[in-house]
Homo-oligomer: A and B are copies of this chain.
């Protein structure tokens, strides 16, 4: 009997979208105001979904307190109140679009969560734009 469980956390971060191999003009054309060299920022909402068997002794798929702590320790500590481009190793050479951020977070969590759990990550950049990985 498999059930999906979801946990939401959030973090606030600054970022800038650009491709260092492109001219300023092309970066402006593609990324518009998201290419502001002085950065802008977001309240990111992060939702993590695990699928697994319900443990008959606890009635849990996964303890939400432990999942929350695991996300805080491995993701929020690195990203919350940070500049994604400057303060993290992940986006030194990777554009911090929502798509790239969600894949980075999935890779971080995948190493920390037993393989018997199916893992999916959703990231809300604004109330109107969000992404999910894997599909």
Contacts and interface: CB of A to CB of B under 8 A. Distances in A.
A109 interface: no
Given A12-B40, A41-B15, A128-B8, A99 B133 contact: no
Interface residues of A, number: 66
A111 interface: no
Interface in A19-68: 19, 21, 30-34, 36, 38-43, 51, 54, 57-61, 63-65, 68
A130 B41 contact: no
A7 interface: yes
Contact of A87 (B14, B21, B36, B60): B36
Given A8-B128, A34-B81, 7 more contacts: A5-B98, A5-B129, A5-B131, A6-B132, A30-B63, A60-B99, A61-B99
